[in-house]
């Protein structure tokens, strides 16, 4: 197994990780990333195989679990009930119950609201240079999920604050201060939702929290702790993905000279898919081997961890022609921006809907939108999103 070196916090890597991905992919189907101390796969075939193989999973094997530090306990109390971190049978039960409430019909029914919100925001965009993330991209997903959950949307700044603090736990080079902030946010967010869930038990409404409370399969329901973790997951994961999806996507569009006809009703779905393939919000997702497994000549032993490099797989030249070119007209092929298999992102349909309904409105209202300066990415790996996106109308 070849070894590769790259600091995930190096400024050059943060701004453009793709040259490293190309070098690592060329080194072999499974390579050892020294700075992470982790075997990783950078090609589409290996990534797709591992994500689909039930012998790999998210749940940490018992002999690999480490004691939880007291100052991080509130965060991991939420994680303990998150279906993102679980395997069957518990994962199957949670996902089934969540999908009974988070239905495709409910998501599709939000389309007009997304469009109306996008239009309202776009029409209020200031003259002169402004940050599209804070004025547009950050607002849409948090307001929409707040409306779906039944949480007052005037709480959006508080929800964003909790979300940003909690996702800091997944970033390379996290500090003690980041861990403490995540724990505080976890405790506050959990207590808020606990009170809210109890209110909804007494006074049901037509919202997602009420539907999650009512969801039942073969006599099984979500516990209050599971409800809380699910709501937090839907906000945090959905928010991070959609904000960066919109920001990275608009950047790619504008760098190519504008939307042309890529945002037409006939082409928008393909354009959104290309945005997600070309520069996705999440770059790494890890798995644990539960038994001895061979992947493309490399043998994983039980308890081995592997990094699945989603963004690298999305630019595999064995899968796409000229993968480093942003081309919404390219033939559709399945990318891995939302994962695949058992842990395929439950919020993917909502993220796609938000992008597909909001972006055409943005460019309809602001047809001359253009970049101001060079956009810069935040050092939040293994998320990949901009610090801000300065534009002019």
Contact by Cβ (8 Å): 244, 386 = yes
Residue with tokens 């190519």: 256
Residues 6+ apart with CB under 8 A from 362: 118, 122, 136, 250, 369
Report the Cα–Cα distance between both ends of the chain, in Å, rounded.
50
Q: What is the pTM of this model?
A: 0.95
Paired strand residues for 40: 31, 307
174 exposure class (CB count in 10 Å sphere: 0-12, 13-18, 19+) = middle
Instruction: Name 48's Cβ contacts closer than 8 Å, sequence gap at least 6.
Output: 313, 336, 340
Contact 247, 378 (CB under 8 A): no
Buried b (16+ CB within 10 A) or exposed e, 272-309: bbbbbbbbbbbbbbebbbbeebebeebebeeebbbbbb
Residue 389's nearest CA partner among 381, 380, 379, 377 is: 377
pLDDT of the chain, 393 residues: tens digit per residue: 999 999 999 999 999 999 999 999 999 999 999 999 999 999 999 999 999 999 999 999 999 999 999 999 999 999 999 999 999 999 999 999 999 999 999 999 999 999 999 999 999 999 989 999 999 999 999 999 999 999 988 998 999 999 999 999 999 889 999 999 999 999 999 999 999 999 999 999 999 999 999 998 878 999 999 999 999 999 888 788 899 999 999 999 999 987 889 999 999 999 999 999 999 999 999 999 999 999 999 999 999 999 999 999 999 999 999 999 999 999 989 999 999 999 999 999 999 999 999 999 999 999 999 999 999 999 999 999 999 999 999
Q: What is the DSSP string of 74-96?
A: HHHHHHTT-GGG--TTHHHHHHH
Rounded distance between C-alpha atoms, residue 38 and residue 24, angstroms: 13
Tokens for 158, please give them: 């508080």
- Looking at the domain covering 3-392, what would its CATH class be? mainly alpha
Domain residue limits, the chain: 3-392
């Amino acid at each position: 197994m070849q070894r590769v070196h790259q600091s995930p916090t190096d400024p050059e890597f943060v701004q453009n990780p793709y040259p490293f991905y190309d070098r690592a992919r060329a080194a072999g189907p499974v390579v050892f990333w020294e700075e992470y101390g982790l075997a990783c796969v950078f090609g589409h075939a290996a990534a797709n195989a591992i994500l689909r193989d039930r012998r790999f999973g998210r749940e940490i094997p018992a002999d690999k679990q480490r004691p939880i530090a007291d100052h991080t306990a509130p965060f991991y109390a939420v994680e303990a009930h998150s279906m993102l971190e679980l395997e069957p049978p518990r994962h199957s039960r949670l996902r089934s119950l969540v999908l009974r409430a988070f239905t495709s019909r409910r998501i599709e029914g939000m389309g007009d609201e997304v469009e109306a919100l996008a239009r309202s925001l776009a029409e209020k965009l200031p003259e002169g240079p402004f940050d599209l993330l804070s004025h547009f991209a950050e607002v849409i997903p948090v307001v929409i999920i707040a409306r779906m959950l039944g949480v007052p949307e005037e709480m959006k700044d508080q929800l964003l604050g909790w979300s940003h603090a909690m996702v800091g736990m997944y970033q390379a080079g996290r500090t003690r201060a980041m861990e403490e902030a995540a724990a505080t946010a976890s405790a506050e967010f959990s207590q808020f939702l606990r009170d809210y869930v109890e209110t909804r038990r007494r006074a049901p409404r037509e919202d997602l929290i009420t539907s999650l409370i009512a969801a039942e399969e073969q006599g099984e329901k979500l516990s209050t702790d599971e409800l809380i973790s699910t709501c937090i997951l839907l906000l945090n994961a959905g928010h991070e993905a959609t904000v960066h999806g919109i920001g990275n996507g608009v950047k790619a569009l504008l760098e190519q000279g504008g939307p042309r006809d890529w945002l037409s009703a006939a082409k928008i779905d393909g354009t959104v898919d290309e945005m997600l393939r070309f520069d996705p919000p999440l770059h790494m997702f890890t798995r644990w081997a539960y038994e001895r497994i061979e992947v493309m000549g490399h043998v994983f032993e039980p308890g081995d961890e592997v990094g699945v490099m989603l963004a690298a797989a999305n630019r595999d030249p064995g899968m796409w022609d000229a993968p480093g070119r942003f081309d919404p007209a390219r033939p559709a092929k399945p990318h891995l921006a939302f994962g695949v298999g058992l842990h395929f992102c439950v919020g993917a349909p909502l993220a796609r809907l938000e992008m597909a309904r909001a972006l055409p409105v943005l460019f309809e209202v602001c047809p001359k939108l253009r970049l101001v300066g060079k956009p810069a990415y935040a050092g939040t790996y293994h998320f990949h999103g901009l610090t801000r996106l300065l534009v002019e109308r």
